Structure 1
């Protein structure tokens, strides 16, 4: 599993999410900014480094790596791509675990654009 996670890069989706019932199992939907810190507040991670079937495989391996630490997470399709959803309170533990496996965490930053 370690070899498949090295050189993978994920980034945190900008919205917060919550679980909602779907036709099979559950889905997620974005939350309003003023509803944060509820018990079902989730963050999403999207894979930047892989596409297609390999992205699904990598996300399942990430899920397994987190399960070893008993972190509850789900891999769901969002906008046609696999995304990993974890509870907001587990975000730091999740990113630390992923970094230990060699997964890069892309950070968004606001910089002054110069043309």
Structure 2
């Protein structure tokens, strides 16, 4: 799985951060706080994210409303699985990954493993 492009990531961050169905105008307003960007650019990228399956949309009045199909955490997990799949030796890659965890990341992993069903 490919990582989002820079603008795709910024748009998805807005959608995730707002945590509700959004319009292109909602996202544009958020993005314009930190950059100069056109409505049509945001609309085109949101349409692309919809086509790629990252956003669902429906018509409300004369404009689409969008929401994320998956959480930010699910996206991150897909990236991690994709990266792991590129290795010839997944066990070794995983060991290297674990060796580089910070203490707080290691603790978060320990806590997560407590809730994952064994099977």
TM-score in same-fold range (> 0.5): no
Give the number of the structure with larger relative contact order, counting CA–CA contacts within 8 Å between residues 6 or more apart: 1
- Higher-helix-fraction structure: 2
Q: TM-score, normalised by structure 1?
A: 0.27
- Higher-strand-fraction structure: 1
Q: TM-score, normalised by structure 2?
A: 0.27
